[in-house]
Amino acid sequence: MTKAEDVQVPGDSGDMDYLRRILLAPVYDIAVETELTPLTKLSSRLNNQIFLKREDQQPVHSFKLRGAYNKLSNLSEQECIHGVVAASAGNHAQGLALSASKLGIKATIVMPITTPEIKVDNVRRFGAEVRLIGRSFNEAQAASLKFAREEQKTLIHPFDDIDVIAGQGTVAKELLQQQPNADVVFVPVGGGGLLAGMAVYLKQLRPDIKIIGVEAEDSACLQAALAAGGPVDLDQVGLFADGVAVKRIGKHTFDLIRRYCDQVITVNSDEICAAIKDIFEQTRVIAEPAGALSLAAVNKYCQTSPGDELLVAVLSGANMNFHSLRYVSERCELGEQKEAVFAVTIPEQKGSFRRFCQALAGRVITEFNYRYVGSDKAHIFVGIRLSGAQERQQLADILEQAQYKVRDFSDNELAKLHIRYMIGGQNPMPVNERIFRFQFPEYPGALEQFLDTLGELWNITLFHYRNHGAAFGQVLAGFEVKAEEEQDFFEHLKALGYSWQEETNNPAYQAFLTR
C-alpha cells in the first residue's frame, strides 16, 4: 500500500469547473443510474458494511459509456465531419461506439491485438470500424494519433480528457446520492479517468471521505508516477486485467489524483480472481478482472482496518472473455488463501500415498501429482484446501512433524502457472507400467477412500488427481504390473466398484509419459 503525497484542501477554481461539468453532463441520454448493491455475506465476513457500485449494469457493461458520451456531446459540428478515432483496450471502445451511433457520428476504434474477442465483437456490433494494431494500449494509441492526423479525424482520448473525466465523475454523483455516509471508496485505476473524476467530485462535497485507488500489481502506472513525481512509462504491463493495462497514467488525471486520492493499493491476479468469485456469489454477475480490482482491494484493506466502516467498491466492468474463466476458477482459491500448494517428499514404498492422506486429517486434497523416478524417495505436488490463511503454516508444521519434507509453493508463480501441469515425464525405470483412468463420486475424503479401496498390492508409478468441484473425481494412475500378475490385477480392479478405463495405448500417454 502506498500513500499519495501532497494532498491539498479542495476548492480551487479549476476543480470547481470539474464539479460544474459533472453536474451538467448529459450522460443519462444514454447511460443509466446503476445500483449500489449491499454485499451482505462479504460484509459479515469482513466486519464492515460493503457496497458494490454496479457499473456492469450500463448498456455496454462498463462505466466508460459515461465519459465517451459526454465527450462526443460536447464536440462541435466541425469536429464531427470526418468522424472520431480512439484507442482502447475494449470498454472505452464500446462506450464510444454506442455513443457515436446514437449521435450519428462515424467512429473508428484502434484496439490492441490482445483485446478479448467479446469486446471486439461488441464494438463492431455497435457500428464502429475496428482496427487491431499493436500488443498494448500504447501501441494502439500511437496508431490512433497517426490516423487522426492522416484522416482528419477527431481523437477521443479514453481517459486524459476533461470531458471524459467529467463524464466518469457522474458515478460519484450517484454514489453520494445513494449512500451519503460512505467512509471509504475504492476505485480501479488504468489511465486514471474514473478515479480522477470520482475523486474531484467526492472531495468537493465530502472532504472527509477516503478515496483509495486500486491498481493491478503488474500495471501500476499510478504508483510509478507518484514515486517519480509525474507520469512515467512502465517497461511492460500485465494483460490479465486488460481493462487497466496502461503503461502511462494521464497528465490531467494524475494532477487530480495526486491532490485528491488518499491511498493506492495494488492487488495481484490471485486476489483479483478471488474478488471475481465473491462478486459472482453475491450478485451472480461475472466481473471482468479490471472490474473486480476494487473489491480485491476491499478484501486486502479489511485485513488491517479497524472494522465497522462503510466501504464502497466500484465494479467498473463485466466484459469477461469466457475463456478466461478457466484461469479464474483455477486461481481464486489461492487468492482467497483457501488453498495451499506444497511439494512434499514421501517414502517410495507401497501405501505411502494413503498414509500421507491420513496425515492430512480429513482436509480436502484439490490436486495430487506424482511420477515414479525409481529412488527411495517420492516427490509429490499437492494442493490442499484450507479454512483460512493461518492454516497454511499450521499444516506445513503438521506434515514436518510427521517426518515429511515440505516446501510451500503457494506464492510461487512458476509453480502455480506452469509446474503443476508439467509434473511427470517419462518413466526412467524399466517397469511393466499400465495406465488407467478412474472416476468416483466426489465428497470430502473421497480420494483417501479411493486409495484405501485400491490397497497396497501394486506399486503406483504415476498419479494425477485434480478436484474441479464437479460431482465426480477423476484420477489418472499408473501401476507396475508384471505379466504373471495381470489376471489378479484385473480381478482386483473389477472388485473395486469404481468406473475405470485402461489408457496404456493412448497416444498422448505414449508420446509424453513413457519411453
Cβ atoms of residues 477 and 458 within 8 Å: no
Report residue 219 as a C-alpha cell. Answer: 500495471
Cβ atoms of residues 323 and 361 within 8 Å: no
* Distance between CA atoms of residues 140 and 86, nearest Å: 9
Cβ-proximal residues to 296 (8 Å cutoff; 6+ apart), any chain: 214, 267, 271, 272, 274, 275, 335
Cα dihedral sign for 109, 113, 119, 122?
positive
* Distance between CA atoms of residues 100 and 84, nearest Å: 8
Element (H, E) at 162: helix 162-178
What is the per-residue DSSP string for 337-385?
A: T-EEEEEEEEESSTTHHHHHHHHTTTPPEEEEEEE--SSSEEEEEEEEE
* Distance between CA atoms of residues 303 and 81, nearest Å: 53
Element (H, E) at 172: helix 162-178
* Distance between CA atoms of residues 116 and 242, nearest Å: 8
Cβ-proximal residues to 149 (8 Å cutoff; 6+ apart), any chain: none
Cβ atoms of residues 392 and 408 within 8 Å: yes
* Distance between CA atoms of residues 513 and 158, nearest Å: 50
The residue from 219, 316, 324, 352 that is catalytic is: 316
Report residue 34 as a C-alpha cell. Answer: 446503476
Pick from 23, 24, 25, 4: nearest CA to 255: 4
Element (H, E) at 436: strand 433-441
Question: Three-state SS string across 470-496, please?
Answer: CCEEEEEEEEECCHHHHHHHHHHHHHH
Does residue 64 carry a catalytic annotation? yes
Report residue 410 as a C-alpha cell. Answer: 503457494
Which residue's entry shows cell 464494438? 123
Cβ atoms of residues 235 and 205 within 8 Å: no
Helix/strand/coil for 447: helix
DSSP state of 515: -
Rounded CA Rg of the chain: 27
The residue from 53, 62, 64, 338 that is catalytic is: 64
Pick from 121, 119, 93, 95: nearest CA to 108: 93
* Distance between CA atoms of residues 71 and 317, nearest Å: 20
CB atoms inside a 10 Å sphere around CB 498: 17
Does residue 316 carry a catalytic annotation? yes
Q: Which residues are identified as catalytic?
A: 64, 316
